[in-house]
Amino acid sequence: MRILNLTLRHGQEADVDSPPSGPSVADRFVLSGDVLRNDERVGVGGLECVTVLFTPGPDPAGEPEALTDQCYGTVSLPQGQITAQGLVDRTGPVPITIAVTGGTGKYRTAHGELETSGPDPAGNEPTTVRLILGDG
């Protein structure tokens, strides 16, 4: 197993509010940014999350009872790309873990897990990627 400790520094971000106005199924969140290792830029990353489950809480302006996104993303590093995807329960505990679904180049046989607790106030998101690489 190979472990990559990376940080995604959030750069460009967009929230897409699908009808009806306010939080609802089909809302999207998109972001891209630099990927850092030991505070040095080593690549770029991007992700998109789509809300697939939304249940409002007792106070419509407050926290939802349920909010789940389907997220997928890619990290592009000098030796190839790593892709990941999974369901993210945004009302659940952190850290969240999603599946590494594949890759290119040195990572073409990759599978494993990607774990994050989300971004800090500065927009830096520490991420641990646990890779299992085959011989292929």
Query: What is the set of domains in the chain, with CATH numbers?
Result: 2-132 (2.40.480.10)
For the chain, give the percent of residues with pLDDT over 70: 99
Q: Residue 13 pLDDT > 90, yes or no?
A: yes
Q: Residue 135 pLDDT > 70, yes or no?
A: no
Rounded to the nearest 5 degrees, what angle is found at the Cα of 79, between the Cα atoms of 75 and 84?
30
Q: Residue 136 pLDDT > 60, yes or no?
A: no
pTM confidence score: 0.92
